[in-house]
Amino acid sequence: MTNPVLAFVFPGQGSQQIGMLAEAAEAFPEISATFSQASSVLGYDLWDLCQNGAQEDINLTERTQPLLLTASVALYRAWQAQGGVTPARMAGHSLGEWSALVCAGVLQFEDAVRLVRERGRLMQEAVPAGEGAMAAVIGLDDQAVEDACASAAEGGVVTAVNYNSPGQVVIAGGAAAVARAIDACKAAGAKRALPLPVSAPFHTELMRPAAEKLAPQIEATVFRAPEIPVIHNVHAKPEADPSAIKALMVEQIYSPVRWTACVQAMAEAGTAQLVECGPGKVLAGLAKRIDRSLTAHNIETPAQMSEAVKSTAQ
């Protein structure tokens, strides 16, 4: 059964923590089964890594991406097993868009694990460590951030890359240009402009070589029309054609994440309730800043899962 006012959203990098989903794994067999499936593709024990590894190990991009994909898909499978209703639409933040596509039936989970591991590796390789940077800007409108980046570029690359909520934008590019843009944003009146602990400038033109290398692998993978509409990061619209979805997932690597527009599009389509399907509460928090009428749920723990299943039942 589909709930017409329910949307699922899937988090991206930054939500990973050592020990995540431990409580859920005790309650839901789908967690360990999904992690085992991913481990067989990756060639290492992903569950052991995220329970017993070091934070710096799971922060390596080529490990973070399959880890978060697996966590989100595992929770969605647990949701289904608990009798949770089917959402009317989905969206994922950056890497989370791959989780949405798997849960919407666009591609097989194992294929997605392979692709996002490679996506992470290529994105990290595209810019040598230390040469790229990202920073969060709080308290400026989008245009002011864009203007600050334009004035700070000085022939380098620095652009707005994550439009996360009104007044919260992430910028990225070359390290020196980002440092200049941080100063420019502060001068323009930003409440805060602070570097993020990320070494690669994701969603900038500097990622285009990674996209071009990943494109043939995406093209060779079977994609199907989505069973549930997915709102895409690149243009904040759904797409039904598998070939067009493949092109969007290549473009997404070097294009801004228009998250504010994605959430607004879901609200305009009738969404009143969101479930954040993955570790952490980042997207639930952003949703309330974007549209206060939205009710957001998390399902990371058995108690949260039970409450969300009941609250969204038709």
> Mind telling me the catalytic residues?
94, 203
Buried b / exposed e across 135-151, counting CB within 10 Å, b at 16+?
A: bbbebbeeebbeebbee
User: Measured between alpha carbons, how far is 180 from 149 in angstroms, rounded to an integer?
Assistant: 8
User: Measured between alpha carbons, how far is 41 from 38 in angstroms, rounded to an integer?
Assistant: 5
Report how far Cα 29 is from the mean position of its chain's Cα atoms. 24
Q: Which amino acid appears at position 10 of this protein?
A: F
Burial class (CB in 10 A: 0-12, 13-18, 19+), 198: middle
Buried b / exposed e across 70-86, counting CB within 10 Å, b at 16+?
A: bbbbbbbbbbeebebbe
**Pick from 314, 274, 306: nearest CA to 28:** 306
CA dihedral 87, 92, 96, 100 (to 10 degrees): 40
The CA distances from residue 156 to 135, 147, 204, 304, in Å, are: 16, 15, 12, 45
In 3-state terms, the chain is what percent helix, strand and coil (to 5)?
50, 15, 30
| Start-to-end Cα distance in the chain | 8
